Structure 1
Amino acid sequence: MNDLATLGQRIRHFRTRAGLTLDQLGERVGIAGSQLSLMENGRREPRLTLLTSIAEATGVQLADLLDTAPPTKRAALEIELERAQRSSLYASLGLPSIRASKALTDETLEAIVGMHHELARRAREAIATPEEARRANTELRLHMRTLDNYLPEIDDIAEKILSDIGHTAGALTHREVSLIAEKLGFELVHVGDLPHSARSVIDLENGRVYLPPASIPGGHGLRGMALQALGHRVLGHEHPATYADFLRQRLEINYFAAAVLMPRRQSVEFLQQAKADRNIAVEDFRDAFGVTHEAAALRFTNLATAHLDLEVHFLRVSDDGAVAKAYENDGLRLPVDVTGSTEGQFVCRHWSARTAFTRTNRTTEFYQYTDTPEGTFFDSTQTGTTSAEEFSITIGVPFAHSKWFRGRETQNRTRSTCPDENCCRRPSPDLSGRWAGRAWSSAKLHAHILSPLPSGTFPGVDDRELYEFLQSHSVQSD
């Protein structure tokens, strides 16, 4: 329809320039003026032979009619207005459409089109409400469950990129990451003034990927963060139109980074050998490729079902028991709210993801069997610490698969009946009888609950801060 609108505008432009009315031009090309009007208004597609006749009658080349650019600024505005009024967003308002008649001045038309653009912009920014974000995240998690958390097409892309730089085995080096960036036309630049709301920034005009100084060689940050940023370009991402798009893109760039850092072929060979030895351990997988424990655990979920015939679950849980990330295809009953979202929900106090915090020695993985209403699960949990909190990373499997894992001999075993609140959420009758009505406590206020995300082109990133940053560094380089 957009192409027909432009074509119609060009026919009208050249007709009026030739001083012809609709009926006069229609008579010359052998159709009724009313039919020609429908074509000029983008309502009917003319045959190529008719377009050839119209071009001859108006004294122009056929290519002039078929040009995709609006013939005038006014025509461009009329096309924009028509497109905006056909959108579902405008239709949802229940307002009548406005015809761009000659009585409508250019200034008025420009103002109306501008308001449509602003309406669309505000609608895009409003999509990141907490409720909608949670629903979109839940839908994405359930979709990935149907795929066993495996995206082979991204693994194929990663393997091609690694082949192009000659990487065949071992942990990917910082230099190799820089080579990948160079082959994609980018330079990695470390700066200390990234926008507070951004982890990295890509300057498409000047071919730079800006990263924080904390990720300068020596840690995991440089490789993973740089590869995630490059993933947007490699995977052909466009500006996210919805929050669901944003979450999908984030998942895909994380998957891409992991697939480059832990290539499928080497990873599968490593894990298959560990399975043959009945000695699968995330900590070994982590160390073999020089990545974080969380990255290795998530990558394990990508490959476990498709290549090792193992159903698994993954949890990242904060020290208060709240779920930050979760995945399962092994039947473990994740805690969920009424929308089906698990993020922010609390796991059972008897699960390994929480009992691991009680250990004194946390240098190695913690192993535990947990009996649940859905069956018995074996879990391997590693705890860690950030500047803000402690957290645990758990990989688990049904009891039948535990025979392939290190730590299966553990005597640690608990019982969970959650979501039954009598399992671990309600205080015992003795404690309730002793303290109910005799205590008062002030809860910590999680400030992020009250603080809205900056709204902009990319959810959570402040456009003004982003563009000021890019301008500043563009001037410096010039």
Structure 2
Amino acid sequence: MACMTIADDVNTDQAGADALTLGRRVRAFRIRQGMTLEALAAAIDRAPSQVSTIENGNREPRLALLRAIASALEVSVDDLLDPEPPDERSALEIAVERAQRGSVFSALGIQPMRVGKTVPDATLQAVLALHQEVERLHRERAATPEEARRANAELRASMRARDNYFADLETIAADMLSVVGHSGGPVSHQTVTEMADHLGFSLHYVGDLPHSTRSVTDKRNGRIYLPTEQSASRDSRSPILQAFASQLLEHDEPGNYAEFLRQRIETNYLTAALLLPERDAVAFLTEAKNFRRISMEDLRDAFAVSYETASHRFTNLATARLGIPVHFMKVHESGTIIKAYENDSVSFPSDALGAIEGTPVCRSWTARTVFDVPDRFSPYYQYTDTPRGTFWCTSRIEKAKEGDYSVSVGVPFEHVKWFRGRDTSHRAVSRCPEETCCRRPPSALSEKWEGQSWPAARTPTSLLAALPTGTFPGVDASEVYDFLERHQPR
């Protein structure tokens, strides 16, 4: 492939980057041989200006010329094509040259500086640091809500393609459970602590955890900091598992929002796989399927997890291990979707980018009608006739500081036979996305009130806020670093 690249002069950004390293290696070998620029030019029958152009990375030589240069310098062609810079100074020069040839630097309208051997290292390092900061700010500015929604849509498509089942993460979870000797049943808090200890982390409960975090991991000192006050709506084991799951998965700091979302999905998946081990969960669900009594409440109680965690875990295993297509929704009391997944052809509302987060759910769907049910303790079941067919759902309300949410799991009509609650008499019809279904008021009410009302919208602050920026979106890095400095071992 290297020979094919060199066969013709190439002017792409990537070729320019390769030419920079090649040029610096030619210069380094020439100086090592004690040759002047003119001497090398004479040896290969070229003008000194042509050799200078090659050494400065402004041109890639053809293969015949490259062989001539290698022969004159008494090295091999492979020596010249090695992708590593010949020394630290050359690496710095190459980095600055690449930065100056990039689109971000060009957009600044600044005249590029000449990167010669007389320019001090400190000057090059300063230029490079400034460019990297400008590039970081540019990336943050580009991290628009549209980018986030597009990343969500792409991530959901990849999850659907694999039926939301990650075999590699299941293996990691099984190995970790085996290491700590878990033999079945709910995973205790003590077992979670033993997992953390096995990975070299000690747990520290503090009262001043940064407000934008659920936990903070000090990788330098092997500490996981957790809040002393536990949320009544959250499993106390989950923050610990999520904290060391990223280390177990060897996550690097995310470079963009899509990578941040992917890492979060993997972390949450591994956490659920540790709390509801695949072998035990599949055995439990298979038995329930055989008796035609699959229930999210039963799965929740068997493994002592939250309803939402049980529902999430069911979507991991339903299709891959039980042969049941499924959909999942978490919907805010305002009617907007927070999370969703499907591989059963149910039609979620979406925007022009294919994203569904933040879009309103049909008022007739179970995820909305459950908010009108007085009984918040019993599971709620409903059939919904849609343009895509009839779907059955089970749904429950869960509370959080942001308000009430419905968590729903549903399947196509032909698969409802495996579930408890299939005999429900609750039924609704949804014609969405037709506006006449639930988005357009009845004509009589429209005629009476259109133009005669002026509601003051209670706009969610998140609707107007910019997408949180930073390596970990929404986290105040200064606050975190101050916290770590206060708590580091003395």
TM-score for the superposition, normalised by structure 1 = 0.86
Amino acid at match of 2:169: I
Deviates more, 1:447-456 or 1:201-210: 447-456
Contact map agreement 2:233 2:399 (CA 8 A) in 1: no
* 2:414 is the alignment partner of 1:400: yes
2:304 to 290, 315, 320: 290
Q: What corresponds to 2:183 in structure 1?
A: 168
Deviates more, 1:219-228 or 1:306-315: 219-228
Q: What corresponds to 1:60 in structure 2?
A: none
Contact map agreement 1:137 1:341 (CA 8 A) in 2: yes
Contact map agreement 1:128 1:459 (CA 8 A) in 2: no
Cα offset for 1:109?
3.2
Amino acid at match of 1:298: H
Cα offset for 1:19?
6.3
User: What's the CA shift string for 1:94-153, capped at 9, x where partnerless?
Assistant: 987654124655555344322211122113323431111111111111221111111111
* 2:344 is the alignment partner of 1:340: no
* 2:247 is the alignment partner of 1:233: yes
Q: 1:236 to 1:183 in 2, by over 3 A?
A: same
SS at match of 1:222: coil
Distance in 1, matches of 2:109 and 2:117, equals: 25
Deviates more, 1:120-129 or 1:392-401: 120-129
1:371 to 379, 385, 388: 385
Paired positions, count: 462
Contact map agreement 2:233 2:400 (CA 8 A) in 1: no
Q: 1:465 to 1:437 in 2, by over 3 A?
A: same
Amino acid at match of 1:340: G
Distance in 1, matches of 2:360 and 2:325, equals: 23
Q: What corresponds to 2:267 in structure 1?
A: 253
SS at match of 1:355: helix
Cα offset for 1:455?
2.6
Cα offset for 1:375?
0.7
Cα offset for 1:71?
4.2
Q: What corresponds to 1:419 in structure 2?
A: 433
Contact map agreement 2:99 2:131 (CA 8 A) in 1: yes
* 2:140 is the alignment partner of 1:131: no
Distance in 1, matches of 2:221 and 2:178, equals: 26
Q: What corresponds to 2:226 in structure 1?
A: 211
Contact map agreement 1:23 1:32 (CA 8 A) in 2: no
Contact map agreement 2:30 2:73 (CA 8 A) in 1: no
Cα offset for 1:278?
0.2
Distance in 2, matches of 1:279 and 1:25, equals: 82
User: What's the CA shift string for 1:11-42, capped at 9, x where partnerless?
Assistant: 75686588653455899xx8679698688657
Distance in 1, matches of 2:487 and 2:41, equals: 58
Distance in 2, matches of 1:117 and 1:453, equals: 21
Q: What corresponds to 1:196 in structure 2?
A: 211
Contact map agreement 2:336 2:361 (CA 8 A) in 1: yes
Amino acid at match of 1:179: E
Deviates more, 1:98-107 or 1:345-354: 98-107
Deviates more, 1:425-434 or 1:142-151: 425-434
Alpha-carbon RMSD = 3.3
Deviates more, 1:311-320 or 1:112-121: 112-121
Q: What corresponds to 1:58 in structure 2?
A: none
Cα offset for 1:207?
1.0
1:304 to 285, 304, 318: 318
Q: 1:39 to 1:187 in 2, by over 3 A?
A: farther
Distance in 1, matches of 2:101 and 2:480, equals: 32
SS at match of 1:241: coil
SS at match of 1:315: strand
Distance in 2, matches of 1:296 and 1:128, equals: 32
Cα offset for 1:91?
6.7
Q: 1:440 to 1:244 in 2, by over 3 A?
A: same
Contact map agreement 1:3 1:68 (CA 8 A) in 2: no
Q: 1:4 to 1:177 in 2, by over 3 A?
A: farther
Q: 1:199 to 1:220 in 2, by over 3 A?
A: closer
Amino acid at match of 2:429: R
User: What's the CA shift string for 1:343-402, capped at 9, x where partnerless?
Assistant: 111111111111111111111210111111111111100111123311110000011111
Q: 1:32 to 1:192 in 2, by over 3 A?
A: farther
* Structure 1 residue runs without a partner (length 5+): 56-62
Q: What corresponds to 2:192 in structure 1?
A: 177
Q: 1:92 to 1:281 in 2, by over 3 A?
A: farther
TM-score for the superposition, normalised by structure 2 = 0.84
Distance in 1, matches of 2:21 and 2:202, equals: 40
Cα offset for 1:422?
1.1
Q: What corresponds to 2:398 in structure 1?
A: 384
2:161 to 143, 146, 164: 146
Q: 1:424 to 1:178 in 2, by over 3 A?
A: same
Amino acid at match of 2:459: L
Q: What corresponds to 2:6 in structure 1?
A: none
SS at match of 1:381: strand
